[in-house]
Structure 1
Amino acid sequence: MLRPLRVLLSIAVIVALCTCNQQSTPRIPISDFFKIPEKSTFRISPDGKYISYLKAYKGKENLFIQQLPDGKEQMATSFTDYPVRGDYFWTYNNHIVFSQDLVANDELKLFTIDVATLKLKNILDQQKVRISLLNRNKQQPDIITIRMNKRDPANFDIYRLNIITGELIPYLINPGNITEWYPEVDGKIRLITSSDGVDKTILFRPNENAPFRRIIENNFSTSVRPIAFTGEKNYFYALSNVNRDKTALVEVNAENGREIKVLYLCTNADIQDVEYSKNKNHLEMVRWEAAKPQKHFLSADIKSIYDKLQPQLKGTEINITDRDSAENKFIIITYTDRNPGTYYLYENKTGQLKKLGDINSTLNPQDLCKVQPVSYKASDGLTINGYLTLPQGTKSTNLPVVIMPHDGPFNQSFWWGYNPEVQFLANRGYAVFQINFRGSTGYGKAFHNAGFKEVGGKIQQDITDGVNWLISNKTADPDKIAIFGAGFGGFSALYGISLHPRLYNCAIVQHSLINFFSFIKDAPPFLKPSVKMMYEMVGDPEKDAAQLRAISPVFHTDKIRAPLLIFQGAKDDRANISELNQFVRELQKQNGSENVKYFLKPNERTFFRSEHNRLQMYAEIEQFLDKNMRVNP
């Protein structure tokens, strides 16, 4: 099994030595970009006595625990089949709850570890079910609140799970239209969101014995996202773009749904995240992206911590990712566009900052490339933002370029920071252009709505305009342009080589959308509430059938002539594998199997989690681009 990978990597090394575009730049091995993180996903126990993290053991990420007084490390799990998922958490009685996704059987297992004894217990085992944590309770430390679609695959219900006994008690049964729940610190739920896919409604109840009633009604183009109750009357904090273009932090009266006041508004970007202390019950900061990450502090205490950290961690983005209940010990992560991240432990009382570990210490930031925010005008005058990464070296014009449209198309965007794919491609001598076309999030309601019903229209024109902008300003070599995307980005890549065959040399797609009809029709049961929204944002399979057929690549294989590289996980619940197989067969018959390469991995979902599969994929990508882009010294 390993021999093909060794051959691929050996060829990649030879190719690298022969085709380096930037001779002064060291060629970084593929494994250095895409290996399992050395240490990641650090958490701290509520009592501040332990930290936990994920670390590789025999090729799989497992849980490790470190005692803070003596720094002693203990391996808490030793799985060799499937890794521990990164959404694990501590309870208030020093247990860790985590899950495993057994992809081959579509089975999810929930475990608990008693940190004092390291005793492992399987508390829940379900097939074809999705589970996520909603709340852990300080008053009842043995009880956690989870959402799960066990009763009905199409609907999530809320359960109270006893992690000691395994007792599972229904708390809120979904009538069929509830999509979001907002628990308070004590686990009570008084705010929920219902949706029919087009219209969204916020419902409120004053206590657990009262029925929910409607307080706010909006359609899918506007949004109100509750954060937490303020502690005054029945007021709550929320992110809202009602009656404004940019999402703001506001205060709302739950009795009538009326906005009381705006707490913070950014004029050029949506507020995207709010930090709220559940221990102290107050707001700490808001975050947004305006070319680069931005913060505004709402708490003097938290601002003081960041002010103390900044001089010690100069030149990095700093974020608090976890804290103990006393809010004395904090887990900190720092990162840049050229550094995937470093974790620290900060003690507020003493001001001591201790390094815990790197996500990837193999990479030297000086060998990587700057990610530069850029913008250009689309053909209709709309400003489109993105990020341009140039390879190191003196040459900055007439470069081979890889265009990267993002997935989505809605509710997603590229943001400034470290991206292993971008740095890998830049290290190989390619300029990389990440485009936030219309419909992307973060730029306001008007920009987001401008993408509706434009998945095969103005969104694709934005991408084409971006390519032409690079050509006109001499950044791109017009004879060496590739397009590389995943999901909707994969559709954009296929669309690009179909409609603009002279613009692109080749295309790479990962878990690509090839047929809008089956993409909508075959949505998993738990995504059914969003199907009507797809009708409004993407297209109605009946009313807009001609348009959806005209843009779906599966119906236009005759137009796809450029070399193509396709990767797909066989367990991806958004993919129609038989349809994709037929699509590939037709393309290979038409263009030759040497020009249409297809890799279907049996035990992978949307993203390849196997390190072996990831390394093979990027070795194939390197060879494919070298062959079709002819990157020469």
Structure 2
Amino acid sequence: MRKGRAHAFVAVLCMLMPVFAAAGDQVPVGAFVHSGGFSMPRLSPDGKYLAAALEQGEDHSVLIFPLDDMRHPKTKRLPRRQVPYNIAWTDSGRLVVELAKFLGSLDFPERMGEIIATDLGDERAQPMFIREQGQSGRGGKQYIADHGFATIASLPSKANGHFYMQTYMSDDETYSRLYDVDASTGVRHQIGEINVGDMDFTMDPDGNARYAQGLNVSNKYVVYRMRNGQWQRLADDEHNPRFEPIGFSQDKQHLYAQTSVKGGPFSLVQTDADGTQSQLLAKDDFGSIGYVQWTPQDEPIAAAPSTGIPTSTVINGDRPLAQIYQVLLSKFPNEFVSFSSFSEDGTKLVFKVSSDREPGTYYLLDLKAGKVDKLFSENASIDPDKMSSRVPMRFTASDGTPLEAILTVPKGASMNNLPMVLLPHGGPFGISDTWFFDTDAQFLASRGYLVLQINYRGSGGRGPGFVDAGYGNWGTRIQQDLIDGVKWAEARHYGDPKRVCVFGGSFGGYSAMMTVIRAPGLFKCAIGYAGIYDLAMMFTKGDIKEGEFGKNYLEQAIGKDPAQLAANSPDKLADKIDVPVLLIHGEADERAPFAQAKAMRAALDAAHKPYEWLTKSDEGHGFYKEKDLVDMYNHVQSFLEKNIGPGVRTN
């Protein structure tokens, strides 16, 4: 991009101001569960089309918009509860879609290992890698099912109708293979392999596999570098920083990677193409660098930490796109701007504006025309002016470890002795609560409750050492971190000690029971949503146990000694629960099977403890249907009002 064009466009950006609706009455429950939003916008290489994912209840589609007439998109519908995991244009008329399935609102979509291709003329998608035999969209040809799992690895640096695909085959799980695939015909040519299963490849602009990295069967991160035609494993111990390659610049001069020294937060670094002579680009002493903005030439221009309110550090500030990015930040104060997609020549780009109160709105920036157009929102039913502020803070745990807390403060309320809900996140490993919009927290705050979230040990965002500190500590140190957070908030008079409840989903549901057990008298009620309540059952029921990786993961995460498992299982400790309980569960849950909820209910019955019960027969790991989510939130609100009183009035 020429600097003259960039400077001219700065003048146009200076006139751009976000406009939001005025606040009114209490936000209805339906606004928080409404589906129908867009995500994953992808510009075609020539900048003439925009593909995006659309959610409409349980139905998902890929829409292809001509940018000169966005009123008439082409719609590619997916089977029920299938969602796009990734969308990528292979040339200006064809795209590939990696498929996933949605098991429940508490889980990220789970990759199906299948890839399809489509274009404007295809009535039916053509399989690139599919696991069931059927017919293709071109001429109704029969195709043979693949027995394995595939993902989109990357794209060529210049669109040529092909994409790179990595596979793990069912009959040979000890190998990961890389293919160059013609998206028009589906013909694939192997271009790389490594005799380690489930690895991700990092490729240079010439299509050569240079690195392979991922978790091995022992749940340990490993990384290999190609040198002289052989894969060599890089050392990862206390004497060698952990090295996670991200990608190469298109000029092939630089490799960008994340590095962690002694398990600390990840920094962003630039190295020579062979991974040597590292140069630090961005770092933070508390949180990992997690939000990086890239140019169309795959060069970073800004980066921000994963913790706190993300504040970007500009990299390569002399780049025209870096200057435009800074202007965009100034025109959307108190929000975060992230680049989403570029045309191949870089003259058009889609960017996203989001914040603690704004789920996300996408805009199209046209450098040649010198204008910005609003495209669509991730959730148009949310009025940011009616949402609550999220405040990241830090406190010190009882053993001296610094931790991050995020407080969602009811709009218009003074943060002083408020009725409070502890909201532990799921996972627990590698997942974290961030400053960005959180549906559960915003719903609770809209009902007048202060919401406390803690990034306990095991959470992501602070480096591998912080994650590892949670292993083996499900029912002990992690729960103490949550308890310490509640005591800190009470000591600061943020929360009223007489009006505190805990509500969590998945691992958070487990924590809802365990914090009550570990800290008698601290809480007035507990809500477990799709929770794990019997640790030993995880080895016999549910999808986590599957395969050698699953078994090794569970042994590291929760241990295998029966006495230890029982000592950290809420259903074995129900007699210690001294507050009313609400159990919410989907009967079709595969991650935390319905048997978990039934075991907890039976234990509460045996201990003569009060509880309420809400289940849905066809819901999975977290409710998915809007009507079921509305019912769930209404039950939560009623339960809170009954046990800790109504929330404060919000503006």
Structure 2 length normalisation: TM-score?
Answer: 0.82
Q: Which amino acid aligns with 2:482?
A: I
Structure-2 residue corresponding to 1:166 = 186
Q: Indicate if the aligned counterparts of 2:157 and 2:250 stay in contact, CA closer than 8 A.
A: no
Matches for 1:10-21 after TM superposition, within 5 Å? none
Q: Which amino acid aligns with 1:461?
A: Q
Larger displacement relative to structure 2 (132-141 or 153-162): 153-162
Q: Which amino acid aligns with 2:289?
A: I
- Cα distance 1:479–1:547, how it changes in 2: closer, same or farther (>3 A)? same
Structure-2 residue corresponding to 1:459 = 478
Larger displacement relative to structure 2 (96-105 or 365-374): 96-105
Aligned mate of 2:641, from 609, 626, 629:
626
Deviation of the 1:45 alpha carbon:
1.0
- Cα distance 1:433–1:574, how it changes in 2: closer, same or farther (>3 A)? same
Structure-2 residue corresponding to 1:247 = 266
3-state SS in 1 of match to 2:423: strand
Task: Give a deviation string over 1:47-96, Cα, whole Å, max 9, x none.
Answer: 10011223355762322222112334224124573354252232224223
CA distance in 2 between counterparts of 1:312 and 1:623 reads 41
Q: Which amino acid aligns with 1:266?
A: D
Q: Indicate if the aligned counterparts of 1:92 and 1:137 stay in contact, CA closer than 8 A.
A: no
Q: Which amino acid aligns with 1:91?
A: T
Aligned mate of 2:618, from 602, 608, 622:
602
Structure 2 residue 123 is the aligned partner of structure 1 residue 119: yes
Matches for 1:450-489 after TM superposition, within 5 Å? 450-489=469-508
Q: In structure 2, list runs of 5 or more residues that go unmatched.
A: 1-22, 104-109, 133-146
- Cα distance 1:82–1:380, how it changes in 2: closer, same or farther (>3 A)? closer
Deviation of the 1:354 alpha carbon:
0.8
Matches for 1:281-300 after TM superposition, within 5 Å? 281-299=298-316, 300=319
CA distance in 2 between counterparts of 1:97 and 1:398 reads 53
3-state SS in 1 of match to 2:486: helix
Structure-1 residue corresponding to 2:218 = 197
Deviation of the 1:566 alpha carbon:
3.2
- Cα distance 1:46–1:157, how it changes in 2: closer, same or farther (>3 A)? same
3-state SS in 2 of match to 1:46: coil
Structure-2 residue corresponding to 1:355 = 374
Deviation of the 1:305 alpha carbon:
1.7
Aligned mate of 1:552, from 565, 569, 575:
569
CA distance in 2 between counterparts of 1:103 and 1:450 reads 30
CA distance in 2 between counterparts of 1:428 and 1:235 reads 50
Task: Give a deviation string over 1:302-354, Cα, whole Å, max 9, x none.
Answer: 31121232343333211111111111111111012112121100122343111
CA distance in 2 between counterparts of 1:89 and 1:610 reads 28
Q: Indicate if the aligned counterparts of 1:250 and 1:259 stay in contact, CA closer than 8 A.
A: no
Task: Give a deviation string over 1:360-391, Cα, whole Å, max 9, x none.
Answer: 33333222211112222222232221111221
Larger displacement relative to structure 2 (559-568 or 290-299): 559-568
CA distance in 2 between counterparts of 1:568 and 1:168 reads 43
Q: In structure 1, list runs of 5 or more residues that go unmatched.
A: 1-23
CA distance in 2 between counterparts of 1:466 and 1:629 reads 19
Matches for 1:198-277 after TM superposition, within 5 Å? 199-206=220-227, 210-218=229-237, 223-229=242-248, 236-243=255-262, 245-252=264-271, 260-277=278-295
Q: Which amino acid aligns with 1:409?
A: P
RMSD of equivalent CA atoms: 3.5
Aligned mate of 1:183, from 193, 203, 219:
203
3-state SS in 2 of match to 1:126: coil
Deviation of the 1:394 alpha carbon:
4.5
- Cα distance 1:439–1:44, how it changes in 2: closer, same or farther (>3 A)? same
Task: Give a deviation string over 1:119-169, Cα, whole Å, max 9, x none.
Answer: 332414326965432122356744333344442596674353443333456
Structure 2 residue 87 is the aligned partner of structure 1 residue 88: yes
CA distance in 1 between counterparts of 2:100 and 2:233 reads 37
CA distance in 2 between counterparts of 1:332 and 1:231 reads 21
CA distance in 2 between counterparts of 1:438 and 1:103 reads 27
Matches for 1:305-344 after TM superposition, within 5 Å? 305-344=324-363
Structure-1 residue corresponding to 2:138 = none
CA distance in 1 between counterparts of 2:580 and 2:187 reads 55
- Cα distance 1:368–1:329, how it changes in 2: closer, same or farther (>3 A)? same
- Cα distance 1:96–1:106, how it changes in 2: closer, same or farther (>3 A)? closer
Structure-2 residue corresponding to 1:39 = 38
Deviation of the 1:454 alpha carbon:
3.0
Q: Which amino acid aligns with 2:604?
A: L
CA distance in 1 between counterparts of 2:75 and 2:47 reads 18
- The total of aligned residue pairs comes to 600
CA distance in 2 between counterparts of 1:239 and 1:632 reads 43
Deviation of the 1:469 alpha carbon:
2.0
Larger displacement relative to structure 2 (45-54 or 55-64): 55-64
CA distance in 2 between counterparts of 1:159 and 1:275 reads 27
Structure-2 residue corresponding to 1:8 = none
Kindly, what percent of the aligned residue pairs are identical?
24
3-state SS in 1 of match to 2:405: strand
3-state SS in 2 of match to 1:284: strand
Structure-2 residue corresponding to 1:61 = 60
3-state SS in 1 of match to 2:201: strand
Q: Which amino acid aligns with 2:600?
A: F
